[in-house]
Amino acid sequence: MAASRTHRLGSGNQLPEIRTPLPGPRARRAARRLDAAEAPGINTLVDGATAMLWEEALGSNVLDIDGNRYIDLTAGFGVAAVGHRHPAVVAAVRGQADRLLHGLGDVFAHPARVELGERLGRLAPLREPRVHFAASGADAVEIALKTGRICSGRPGILAFTPAYHGTTLGALQGTSRPAFRSPFTEPLEHQVHRLPYGVEVDEVQQLLDRQPEIGTCLVEPVIGREATRWPPDGWLAGLAAACRARRVILAVDEIFTAFGRCGAWFVSAEAGIEPDLICCGKALGGGLPIAAVLGRKEVMAVWNTGGEARHTATFVAHPLACAAALATLEVIETGSLVERAVEMGRRFGRRVEPLRQVPGVVDVRGAAMLWAVELDGRERAADLSRHLLDRGVIALSGGAAGVVLQIAPPLVVTEAQLFHAADSLLRAASDLASKP
Ligand SMILES: Cc1ncc(COP(=O)(O)O)c(C=O)c1O
């Protein structure tokens, strides 16, 4: 990797170095400005200030504005699978910026988009796949839901608890043209039927039979943000069969899980299922915003309007993001990062084994480069995250109940960094356990 500007990041393979108490003085000043400029509740505060602000990142390292260096066990919400600011991604973005910075979305395409569509098509674990690009993960989920609605002809949606698919609300409700609105005018909230994640497949079948208006099933193959939890063995295959038998469109949300995070290019393929639709994003852009829905050809045919695109966004398939995505996929493939994730996950799992004995730790689970440490309370999970930050390790606590510390490092994290993080985790959890 190229040398960092500050030389503090090496090639992104460094151990932490904390030089100031957190929040540092510059973080405190910046927090006051953020507070005055932005809507409240968007930035996480610690003692009334953002704990730190990211100034630079490379590989698995982050440097904050006070000069503290961290190992990033979040991969920036799962985005930096190939590491932060991978030189091949940066070079591709620079090259693209010299040619075309912005295009005309769904009207006139550009070459990088053509190439990326083809490449995603080759990777997709689907027969005759077709790609629909999206501006963000939530936008991809919107496309999947709309596809399911048109294709099945039924408005109902089966979703699970817990789940996280995004937070968009309803620009379409304000848009007037019937060609855009139809057939998406039913209030969605009342169309969503929920079951517990991992519920017996019999119960899924019963619900689908009781509620024949359900036309789409939206599911995470592994619960990411809300729990970091895996389904029972064979559950996804059972779900897929139940949907297929009733012509319910199965939309698998792999926005967090795809491209190696869980030890496979796509968890769907690993689980032996062929969904109708797969949403992906996050890692795809290597740090630039891009997402996509991969769908079976006959399902995606519903988008053939013969005229203007029915679902689009100004920045869809942005040239810089397409170039970054092509470089990212190349790095994952040539660096065998999917296989590497599996092996590093095994080593990490062995290293954190003693955590299971620490009081307050309820569960340690994971595979490849996605792990969860479940604590016996929200406060202990938040404390653990805070203790780790003070030791230069970034790992967020959260989930629906707030009791899970999630570990999702870049797939390129070095063994030394991973073991250092594991040992910090053990020390921090043990320190917390001995506190009254
Ligand atoms: C599984 C899943 N789906 C959808 C989303 C939403 O993606 P975005 O934040 O890019 O809109 C996320 C984001 O965390 C996610 O984890």
Tokens 């400029």, residue located = 37
For residues 245 and 241, what is the distance between their CA atoms, to the nearest angstrom? 6
Asked whether 136 lines ligand 1 (CB < 6 A), one says yes
Q: Nearest-CA neighbor of 82 among 93, 97, 69?
A: 93
Asked whether 164 lines ligand 1 (CB < 6 A), one says yes
CA atoms within 13 A on the CB side of 223: 22
Cis peptide bond upstream of 183, omega within 30: yes
Q: What is the pTM of this model?
A: 0.96
Backbone conformation region of residue 388, classed left if phi is above 0, alpha if psi is from -120 to 50, else beta: alpha
Q: What pLDDT is attached to residue 170? A: 82
Q: What pLDDT is attached to residue 387? A: 94
Instruction: Average the pLDDT over 359-386 and give the result.
Output: 96
Residue 144, H or E segment: helix 137-152
Q: What pLDDT is attached to residue 283? A: 98
Asked whether 264 lines ligand 1 (CB < 6 A), one says no
What's the pLDDT tens digit per position in 44-69? 665 566 678 999 999 999 999 999 99
pLDDT score of 3 more than 50? no
Topology adopted by domain 25-86+336-434: Aspartate Aminotransferase, domain 1 (3.90.1150)
Domain boundaries, the chain: 25-86+336-434, 89-334
Q: What pLDDT is attached to residue 46? A: 59
Q: What number does the ligand 1 atom closest to the CA of 168 have?
A: 11
Average pLDDT, the chain: 94
Asked whether 399 lines ligand 1 (CB < 6 A), one says no
Asked whether 226 lines ligand 1 (CB < 6 A), one says no
Distance 164 CA to ligand 1 centre (A): 7
Tokens 């000043």, residue located = 29
The conformation of residue 229, written as its DSSP 8-state character, comes to B
What's the pLDDT tens digit per position in 153-204? 999 999 999 999 999 988 888 888 888 888 888 888 889 999 999 999 999 9
89-334 CATH pick, 3.40.50.720, 3.40.640.10, 3.40.350.10, 3.40.1440.10: 3.40.640.10
Distance 119 CA to ligand 1 centre (A): 22
Atom 7, ligand 1: residue with shortest CA distance:
137
**Helices 319-334 + 111-123 axis angle, to 10:** 40
Q: Nearest-CA neighbor of 251 among 274, 217, 227, 282?
A: 217
Distance 141 CA to ligand 1 centre (A): 8
Q: What number does the ligand 1 atom closest to the CA of 291 have?
A: 10
Burial 203-229 (b: 16+ CB within 10 A, else e): ebbebbeeeeebbbbbbbbbbbbbbbb
Instruction: Average the pLDDT over 356-377 and give the result.
Output: 97
Residue 139 CA to its chain's centroid (Å): 13
Q: What pLDDT is attached to residue 253? A: 98
Asked whether 256 lines ligand 1 (CB < 6 A), one says yes
Q: What number does the ligand 1 atom closest to the CA of 139 have?
A: 11
Distance 137 CA to ligand 1 centre (A): 5
Asked whether 398 lines ligand 1 (CB < 6 A), one says no
Q: What pLDDT is attached to residue 44? A: 63
> Which residues is 407 bridged to in the sheet?
371
For residues 50 and 48, what is the distance between their CA atoms, to the nearest angstrom? 7
pLDDT score of 394 more than 90? yes
Atom 3, ligand 1: residue with shortest CA distance:
165
pLDDT score of 1 more than 50? no
Asked whether 253 lines ligand 1 (CB < 6 A), one says yes
